[in-house]
Structures are given as structure tokens and as C-alpha cells.
Amino acid sequence: MKIESLDPRINRAALDADSQDGILQEMDHFQTYEVFEQKKRGTHHVHVGSVHAPNSELAMMFAKEQYTRRGACVNLWVVKTSEIFVTQYEDSDIFENTASKLHRDPNSYKVMDRIKAFKERQKNNA
């Protein structure tokens, strides 16, 4: 049975309503690439999503269409998802630090107190 449509383009395509063709096999839609966008010079590239593509050039083209249709973009990166090494959320204890991080805090270094005390001692000794 041929599909009848209001759309002349679809009538011209003479589509068979009972076709069983078109079933996809694994990898028919290729591998995925992750997309990183830089909105403005001087800022970091930020991960915005992914695309399916057969190679880097087409991944770049799809990424441009998909993620830069709106707003500013000055630079794009694409990288195969399979090339990215990631941590697991269940292992997030690897990011745990010591409870006290005073040694990373600039205000925890009180050199002026020490210098003042030193100068005081010198005056008294003189």
C-alpha cells in the first residue's frame, strides 16, 4: 500500500506503508564524541554534550550545528567519548581531604606577628 499524503514531496517518494526495511544494526549511528565549547576568548572550554559521528571532521560539523546555533562561540573541541578517562561517582572518596586546610589558607600565615615580636626583642636588647 502506497502512503498518500497532503505533502506532495511524500507522494513523490511513493513510500510503501508495509515496508519492513530500515531496521538499524549496531553502530549504524556510529560512535559518540564529546563536545567542548569556548564561548569567548580567555575563558575555559566547557563540556556541552555529545554527537554521533563517523569521524572527527563530521563530529566537528555536527557539533557546530548542534551546539552553536544560538549565542556566541569562538572555538570548539570534539573528542571521542571512548578516549576520555573518567572517575566513578562511587569512588568520590578519592577527593576527600584533611578536615583542616589551614596550610592552604593565606590568612593562616602570620609573619607580621613574628616580625613584630622579633623587632621588639631587638629593641629591648639594644
Buried b (16+ CB within 10 A) or exposed e, 7-43: eeeeeeeeeeeeeeeeeeeeeeeeebbbbbbbeeeee
Does 13 engage in binding with other proteins (CB under 8 A)?
yes
Q: What would the x/- binding string for other proteins be over residues 38 to 57, using CB under 8 A? A: ---------x-xxxx-xx--
Among 12, 25, 101, 126, binds other proteins (CB under 8 A): 25
Closest contact distance (angstroms) between CB of 35 and other proteins is 10
Cα–Cα distance, 91 to 33 (Å, whole number) = 25
| DSSP sequence for 2-70 | B---SSHHHHHHT-BTT-------TTTT-EEEEEEEE-STTS--EEEEEEEESSHHHHHHHHHHHHSSS
Does 93 engage in binding with other proteins (CB under 8 A)?
no
Interface segment toward other proteins; rule CB under 8 A; list 8-16, 38-46, 102-110, 112-120: 8-16
Closest contact distance (angstroms) between CB of 9 and other proteins is 7
Residues at the interface with other proteins (CB under 8 A): 3, 5-7, 9-10, 13, 15-17, 19, 21-32, 34, 47, 49-52, 54-55, 58, 65-66, 69-70, 80-82, 84, 86, 88-90
